[in-house]
Amino acid sequence: MPTWIPEADGLHLARTLESGQAFRWRWNPGRDGARVAVGVIGREVLQVEQDARGLCLLSPDTQEARRLLLDYLGCSREPRGVAGIEAALAEDGVLARILPHTRGIAILAQDPWEVLISFIISANNNIPKITQSIERLARAFGEPLGDGAHAFPAPARLAAARPQTLAACLLGYRAPYVRAAARMVADGGLDLAALRLVPFEAARERLLEVPGVGEKVADCILLFGLGRTAAFPVDVWVTRAVERLYFRGRPRTPKQIQAFARARFGPLAGHAQQHLFAYARAYLRVARASELGRQAPKHRPPTPRGHPRGT
């Protein structure tokens, strides 16, 4: 029996799940041509569908699963809901023009440990390969949940992983960083939950000390794993959107873009970033000649010392 989720009114499921925040969802065919989103949250495998009537949880049919989904979609954290946040964003003239094309994107409330590893893997990578690597990690090290699904691996499992097993998960040069980050969490050297409570810049600096975590990756962890919505991750898509839509194509550095975004959007910077990112990917895909020289390389070998900075 489907369980309707009226608290998610205004949320667009596909836009949210396909916005580059999470990598453990797939789409299966559903009723009447609809699509069913199947994903792993914690130790539950959820099936979720959205149609003209709203969002519904198809399985499992339990109160615990319903609560888990509400928390994951950010409904429990944000009393204004998606519509309230978008009303505030629409006070910005540029976002007011963008929102009709991107409406419904929520910031997911994910496990910060899973986000940490996922975004270390994401550096200089693409979404299909990130998804494949994470699924291989889950199959190799995660607890079986039934029907071929696995929970995300615990820190101790990845900390003790053999290098050749990690290599088989297609991590490439990121494999040592995944194991090093896992050891920091497993040994208690990195308390991710505590980073929700410290000042924003202190949390960011602590994340930058983790092997494999650079500027953009740190901001993704802050935003998608720790709920720090003042974070504004800057990649080539966001750079393109901000330069074209706010600066008439004039180049800006990532630090300049971040300073601009935080001053303009304040605690809603992360929400604004998601709409700018989605809009750029859909409508600003053709790069100008001046942008080509500034795009991140598809692959960057690890630095011999220290750790790389994510792009």
The residues spanned by each domain of the chain are 3-76, 79-107+228-306, 112-225
CA 59 centroid distance within chain: 24
Q: Is domain 79-107+228-306 classified as CATH 1.10.1670.10?
A: yes
Domain 112-225 is found in CATH 1.10.760.10:
no
Q: Is position 255 annotated as part of the catalytic site?
A: no
162: left (phi over 0), alpha (psi -120 to 50) or beta: beta
pLDDT tens-place values along the chain, 311 residues long: 678 999 999 999 999 999 999 999 999 988 777 899 999 999 999 999 999 889 999 999 999 999 999 999 998 777 788 999 999 999 999 999 999 999 999 999 999 999 999 999 999 889 999 999 999 999 999 999 988 899 999 999 999 999 999 999 999 999 999 999 999 999 999 999 999 999 999 999 999 999 999 999 999 999 999 999 999 999 999 999 999 999 999 999 999 999 999 999 999 999 999 999 999 999 997 765 555 444 443 334 333 333 333 33
Q: What is the pLDDT of residue 67?
A: 94
The structure's pTM equals: 0.89
Are 150 and 191 in contact by the 8 Å Cβ rule? The answer is: no
Which of 227, 225, 230, 229 is CA-nearest to residue 210? 225
- The catalytic residue among 129, 216, 255, 298 is 216
Phi, psi of 252 (to 5 degrees): -140, 145
